[in-house]
């Protein structure tokens, strides 16, 4: 079993004619290289049109001699904002061809890992390893998203800021993009399993491996759905925390206004210039007792009241 990264027509033709199973992984190939590989490997022209024009939705197309999959996976698994990379897979009984325009660390690592192994498990093992590598790349992304959500939640409880809501909505958009792709891939994969099992020349131990891939796709879809629910709950938490913050501000303003109203009422009473007050209050002692004391004692009583009720108001 061979692993190739370049379109060598002589080598491809020799492997193809010798019926020796191989994996050809093409990273950002030219149009001529794609056409050459398609001619040598006898790929269906309709499938080749999709590969020449990337930007396809996740799908599976079954042809007499091979199965064509459009599969999405994160390019950098630890970055939630990662747009993902589109991988075109051609699976047949004689080879596996992967074509991608962007970098994919999982496939690069898998190539290096398998180069040091003696792939005696057969063709189905290679198909499984490629598909499971592309699928499991979502798990680190889910973990990174969970860390971001937890950090945002802590920040919101500490203090709400307007940019936090923008971060939540951006995370949700990125999550929904990944979730839609994974759901589409999980949805078409049962049909892909049947099509791959029907391929002539492919080892018949494939189903257990493919069922494992389907199980991982379901787990990833479930994890992404859980994170979507967490982001929705975080949105509600933001609005609740913000409303609580506004209520606390309104309560503090109400307390402050109560002090001003009380002070205004007292000073307004003395400002009526009653005859007795004008004639009887003439000394500094009278002013301190009736004027200052009459103002401070009610305010002090209010301070004591609000201090004892601070847990209800603040």
**Are residue 236 and residue 262 in the same domain, yes or no?**
no
Quick check: helix, strand or coil at residue 199? coil
Shortest CA distance to 263 belongs to which of 305, 301, 295, 304? 295
User: If pLDDT is split at 50, 70 and 90, which confidence band does 97 have?
Assistant: very high
Strand order in the sheet with 22-27: 2-4, 22-27, 95-100, 85-92, 66-73, 59-62
pLDDT of residue 200: 81
Where would I find the beta strands (DSSP E) of 57-139?
A: 59-62, 66-73, 85-92, 95-100
pLDDT of residue 68: 94
pLDDT of residue 79: 66
Domain residue limits at 253: 244-313
Residue pLDDT, tens place only, 153-188: 888 888 888 888 888 888 888 889 899 999 999 999
| Residue 223 neighbours by CB under 8 Å, 6+ apart | 138, 139, 142
Domain boundary among 223, 242, 261: 242
**Are residue 118 and residue 194 in the same domain, yes or no?**
yes
State how far the Cα of 34 lies from the Cα of 54, in Å rounded to an integer.
12
State how far the Cα of 208 lies from the Cα of 153, in Å rounded to an integer.
41
Domain boundary among 242, 271, 291: 242
**Are residue 67 and residue 166 in the same domain, yes or no?**
yes
**Are residue 272 and residue 134 in the same domain, yes or no?**
no
**Are residue 255 and residue 146 in the same domain, yes or no?**
no
Q: What percent of the residues of the chain are helix, what percent strand, and what percent coil, each to the nearest 5?
A: 65, 10, 20
**Are residue 258 and residue 213 in the same domain, yes or no?**
no
How many domains, in total, are found in the chain?
Answer: 2
Q: Between these two residues, 206 and 112, which has the higher pLDDT value?
A: 112
**Are residue 164 and residue 258 in the same domain, yes or no?**
no
| Residue 279 neighbours by CB under 8 Å, 6+ apart | none
Predicted structure pTM score: 0.74
Residue pLDDT, tens place only, 129-160: 899 999 999 998 888 888 888 888 888 888 88
CA 56, 61, 62 angle in degrees (round to 5)? 165
Whether 5 has a pLDDT exceeding 90, the answer reads no
Give the domain CATH number at 225: 3.30.460.20
**Are residue 128 and residue 171 in the same domain, yes or no?**
yes
């Amino acid at each position: 079993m061979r692993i190739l990264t370049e379109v060598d027509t002589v080598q491809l033709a020799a492997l193809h004619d010798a019926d020796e199973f191989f994996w050809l992984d093409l990273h950002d190939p030219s149009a001529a290289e794609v056409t050459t590989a398609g001619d040598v490997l006898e790929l269906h022209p309709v499938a080749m049109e999709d590969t020449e024009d990337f930007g396809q939705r996740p799908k599976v197309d079954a042809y007499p001699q091979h199965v064509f999959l459009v599969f999405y996976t994160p390019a950098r698994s630890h970055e939630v904002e990662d747009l993902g990379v589109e991988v075109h897979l051609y699976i047949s009984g004689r080879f596996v061809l992967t074509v991608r325009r962007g970098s994919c660390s999982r496939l690069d690592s898998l190539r290096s890992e398998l180069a040091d192994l003696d792939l005696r498990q057969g063709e189905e093992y290679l198909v499984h390893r490629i598909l499971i590598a592309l699928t499991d790349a979502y798990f680190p992304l889910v973990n990174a998203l969970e860390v971001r959500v937890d950090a945002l939640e802590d920040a919101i409880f500490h203090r709400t800021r307007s940019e936090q809501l923008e971060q939540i909505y951006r995370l949700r958009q990125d999550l929904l993009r990944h979730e839609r792709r994974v759901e589409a891939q999980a949805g078409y994969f049962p049909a892909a399993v049947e099509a791959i099992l029907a391929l002539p020349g492919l080892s018949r131990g494939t189903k257990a491996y493919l069922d494992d891939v389907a199980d991982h796709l379901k787990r990833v879809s479930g994890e992404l759905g859980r994170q979507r629910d967490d982001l929705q709950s975080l949105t509600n938490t933001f609005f609740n925390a913000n409303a609580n913050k506004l209520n606390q501000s309104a309560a503090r303003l109400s307390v402050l206004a109560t002090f001003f109203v009380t002070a205004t009422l007292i000073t307004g009473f003395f400002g009526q210039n009653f005859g007795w007050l004008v004639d009887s209050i003439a000394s500094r002692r009278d002013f301190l007792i009736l004027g200052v004391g009459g103002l401070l004692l009610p305010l002090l009583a209010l301070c004591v009241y609000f201090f004892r009720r601070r847990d209800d108001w603040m």
